[in-house]
Amino acid sequence: MLDAVVVGAGPNGLTAAVELARRGFSVALFEAKGTVGGGARTEELTLPGFRHDPCSAAHPLAVNSPAFRALPLDRYGLEWLHPAIPMAHPFPDGTAAVLSRSVGETAASFGPRDAGAYRRLVEPFLSRWDTLARDFMSLPLTALPRDPVTLARFGLVGLPPSTWLTRRFRDERARTLFAGLVAHVMAPLSGFATGAVGLVFALAAHARGWPVARGGSQAISDALAAYLKDLGGSVHTDFEVKRLDDLPPARAYVFDTSPTALARIAGFGGHYANYRYGPGVFKIDYALDGPVPWTAPEARAAGTVQIGADSHEIGAALRAASREGRAPDAPFLITVQPGVADPTRAPAGRHVFWAYGHVPNGWTGDLTDAMERQLERYAPGFRDRVLARATAGPPELAAGNANYVGGDIASGAVSGLQLLLRPKLSLFPYATPHPAVFICSSATPPGPGVHGMSGHNAAKAVWRRLRQT
């Protein structure tokens, strides 16, 4: 009998399996798709030689993850490549604000009226970032805080809505960039704890940047899988699990799946019936014949580029998708241009480019024209650079990754108490109605993103049980 079986080979499932194997437990991992990766894959979606990331592309949370930093993933081929500027937010007038590795450079891009306010916001936490990140990403009670005072101060700043936090800025440039940071998790700007979301992304950039993985996001997953195999774990792909009886006998079962899929497989009935899924996304992967022709020079050097004229436009786009049940007229876009740092992703002189906008959960329309109108506002002539495009709305995203219910790449609405207490209002989020079954997906704290911390935290709960039995 195995000690543990893990279902789902996304970053969290892989991390949970690795953490258990590192502690001497026998582990087998089962994945429905033909390759490991979940939200961290790389595929030729458009033309031969153009390597795209179907979901995650830039990785501020991965490079800062306490779980990943404790693992020897560099020995298994993972290499982080950093663009000159982690993230840029261009404006219609051709200028841009930036999120730089340097606090001073970032503050200066906001203008003299807000430079000091930004410094006062981030610098007290940046000096304690590694401890703060571990404490924040280990909540709830999987570990005692190492620095409870700093964590409490962070909570006082971050738990109110981001709209409260940005009141300290006098001009729109800083407010707009910060609104875009919050929108990375598709949270309404007025939502509980959204200030913490934006602040975490900013601090992550200053601490270690927003890099891409050389060769694509698949390199993260492949490194985890290779390390797991060296630890004695086994990986089984093309193995769809429909019920627990499909799996070999084990002392514990760990699911990197959506809560509703877990309930169906394990026979939990309506246990997660109140779990809410958030808006979906419409994503386009492009093969380009050259770099994106951004008007703002800063955007040409940035790995990630946010597109939204101001915080009001960004807020309206989020409300349309999450509350009004319609696609926004002017979608907020998150875009990534990996070739700025990694020229291996496309043939010489060519580029891959990745963009998505928010749409209602399960939306079946086509956002291509609206997205490209937005891109043309900030990069005139963009359409002329397009060699090929691959579009994926909510149905296609859900077909490609069962955890993206209705196209929700955050694996659950990131709003209200569900931002912090997910998938149930409980201090034991990784436990389920069955004492030997656990959940470790992005539907558990600390939530969405490629960081492995949900898997890391869940593994702690699993090995505590295994040592008791």
Q: Could you report the per-residue pLDDT of 100-119, keeping only the tens digit for each?
A: 999 999 999 999 999 999 99
CB of 430 closer than 8 Å to CB of 445: no
Q: Please give the CATH number for the structural domain made up of 2-79+214-276+410-468.
A: 3.50.50.60
Sheet holding 386-392, edge to edge: 96-99, 85-90, 302-307, 333-336, 351-359, 280-288, 386-392
Token pair belonging to 157? 């700043």
Q: Could you report the per-residue pLDDT of 35-57, keeping only the tens digit for each?
A: 999 999 999 999 999 999 999 99
pLDDT at 140 over 60: no
Per-domain residue ranges of the chain? 2-79+214-276+410-468
Q: For 262, which DSSP code?
A: H
Distances (CA, A) of 387 to 143, 251, 376, 392, 409: 50, 51, 16, 17, 27
Mean pLDDT of 370-374: 98
pLDDT tier at 156, thresholds 50, 70, 90: confident
pLDDT of residue 147: 84
How far does Cα 373 stand from its chain's mean position? 25
Half-sphere exposure of 368 (CA within 13 A, CB side): 11
Q: Could you report the per-residue pLDDT of 381-427, keeping only the tens digit for each?
A: 999 999 999 999 999 999 999 999 999 999 998 877 787 788 988 87
Nearest to 206 by CA among 95, 88, 84, 86: 86
Q: Could you report the per-residue pLDDT of 316-333, keeping only the tens digit for each?
A: 999 999 989 999 999 999
pLDDT of residue 111: 93
pLDDT at 142 over 70: no
pLDDT at 210 over 80: yes
Distances (CA, A) of 98 to 39, 81, 88, 273: 26, 18, 4, 41
pLDDT of residue 233: 98
> What amino acid occupies position 240?
E
Q: Could you report the per-residue pLDDT of 291-311, keeping only the tens digit for each?
A: 999 999 999 999 999 999 999
CB of 465 closer than 8 Å to CB of 431: no
pLDDT at 139 over 70: no
Which of 396-411 are b and which e, b meaning 16 or more Cβ less than 10 Å from the residue's Cβ? ebbebbbbbbbbbbbb
Q: Which residue has the higher pLDDT, 194 or 98?
A: 98
pLDDT at 469 over 90: no
pLDDT tier at 265, thresholds 50, 70, 90: very high
pLDDT of residue 416: 73
CB of 87 closer than 8 Å to CB of 291: no
Q: What is the maximal distance between C-alpha atoms in the chain?
A: 64
When the pLDDT of each residue in the chain is averaged and rounded to a whole number, the result is: 94
CB of 357 closer than 8 Å to CB of 332: yes
Q: Is 348 helix (H, G, I), strand (E, B) or coil?
A: coil
CB atoms within 10 A of CB 35: 16
Mean pLDDT of 148-171: 88
How far does Cα 116 stand from its chain's mean position? 29
pLDDT of residue 303: 98
pLDDT of residue 468: 83
